[in-house]
Structure 1
Amino acid sequence: MEQATLPAPFFLKLPNATLPGCRPIGSLEEWHSPLAKQHKRRHLPMNTTNTTNTTGLLGIICPVDDASVAFADCAACAARGGKPCPFPPEVLAAVVQRRPAFQKAPGEDLVISVTELIKCARRTRLEAIHGYYELLGGLYRMQRGTWIHGVLERLATGEAEKRLEWVFRRNGRVVRLTGKPDLVRDGVVYDYKVTENPPRGRRHYACQCGAEVIKLGRARKYTCPNCGEVGQQAIFSTYDAPAPRTSHTWQLRMYALLLAKAGTPVKAGEVIYLGPKEIVRVPVTLDEAATVARIKAQLDLLFADEMPPALADGSDDAWACDYCPLAEVCKQAPPKS
């Protein structure tokens, strides 16, 4: 659940050019349209200068008047009752509080968390030169997950929320990778995910000829593309168990790698999806060699002169594009940063 900010020196080489399709600060509200809501865009991009105060997440979109408001101003407004805000002041203060960014030690070129490293590298690069505001409801949903994590941490019987770090070199740069697994117990690393849509298993039906069939409603009959309508006695079924999201797999694997570097290796991993009505526990296969290769590949994308590619259509993580704060800017980004 941790957040990290890539250090400014790393991004100083990025130009401060205006990208096509960006809007100045004064016209942010133009992005807050019914069409944007329809496409689940909960964030608003904007064009800014490359300083520490105008890049990344800058504040919220007020639920009362759609104004772009800095975090401190939002909390102050709620405390004095300036607007008929649907959020109680104490809840809003908890939602808009920001964690301090990780600080580099002398000689380090980059400090980055596992959570930041596994996300879209293109988005990370764009966040370094653009600022954005997020709908308050979106931040509330994320913060609600953090609150649940806090309760589970207090009740855990294993080692919970321990900060891990690994310092290494990549292409001449000193990198510190940091992460905080939700729980480590009996040689297993666990990660909780609060979600409205946990992964589900799927049952497949096939005809004796080998073709996949379609079940006809609740009747015990099926349609085969080769044999036509067939009865239940002519088909067999297989079941695919729920699988973890791709990003969650890499996150847990990186936690396992950090644990190994800290001298406490684990033998297995598990993602626990906390849905609104059910809990889905999904095992994760650990692979140290693949994890190291993944870390190298992600760092190479972040350090490269070229802008990283967008997530491929149809990929397991492509859904994130619908919620990306810089989706419109992403479409117009130049090939070189």
Structure 2
Amino acid sequence: MKHAETVTFGGSSLDRAGEVRADKEAVAALRADDAARAILFWRGKVLIDPARPASVVRLPLDHPVLADAGSAPILLGREEGAARFAYDLSPWMPDDFDPRQLGSFVDQSEQRHPMLPPDYAFVEMRRVMTWLSPRDAELAATGKAILAWHENHGYCARCGFETVVNDAGWQRNCPACRASHFPRTDPVVIMLITHGNSVLMGRSPGWPEGMFSLLAGFVEPGETLEAAVRREVFEEAGVQVGQVSYLASQPWPFPASLMFGCAGEATSHEITIDPKEIEEALWVSKEDMMDVFAGQHPKIKPARKGAIAHFLLENWLADTLD
């Protein structure tokens, strides 16, 4: 495995059991296996046991809490031959739930179901992504992303008729016009743009004070990753980029992106921001970035651990990009 594949959500070689998804009898047999387990989600949050090391909870499929699931389970894959299914408990409503908590930049709230042990909690994945093992992170990211797709794609994009779920949750079909719909992933480039000894950083409006990151943006139809890097950097910061190379990728289930980490060499230095895109951009030297990572910079706070921006910057400083 390349070092680049060790990024959070970078994968754990999970057996995704893609060859059996369309076989209803095979999926039913997987669900009937006593070793099969359920992974629970609520409003995009995953159920974890916060004991250190924290872990994603795996429940037997006969657990009574699964009666609160609002839809059919989704086959995530197999661990040691036994199936793992995602269940969405979003119809359940905690007694003390405040919906404003879900809209915060990083949701610190936790929800506990009365039928589960008191330590088990539904938590925002950004909070715990660095606590989880690679396998738990992959299962959590996969479940969160595909459940978000189902939530937003219940009707046919071609004719508007309500679709039905097939292939163990990996396809939706329209009974009216026969169209088939598959989970979508949105490609995003995130760029380590350097000029000499400095890297280009920016911040979006509304971010917490001191939060800066690498520039990023969605890849447009008909566009290569390299072209997207050059376009996004010029649009956001007015900086021209020459050579571009691929570094690493990261599934980012917020809700369903795939981040392509790229390196780019700036051919211009002057910054002219687009205020509709970003609030500020600046060049940060390696020496200053060392202070940032040490928490000693007067303006910039360290990049969020677990995000690919932190991974790329950390390896840029250590000269271990590959």
Structure with the higher helix share, 1 or 2? 1
Larger-Rg structure: 1
Relative contact order, higher structure (CA 8 A, sep 6+): 1
TM-score (norm 1): 0.27
Q: TM-score, normalised to structure 2's length? A: 0.28
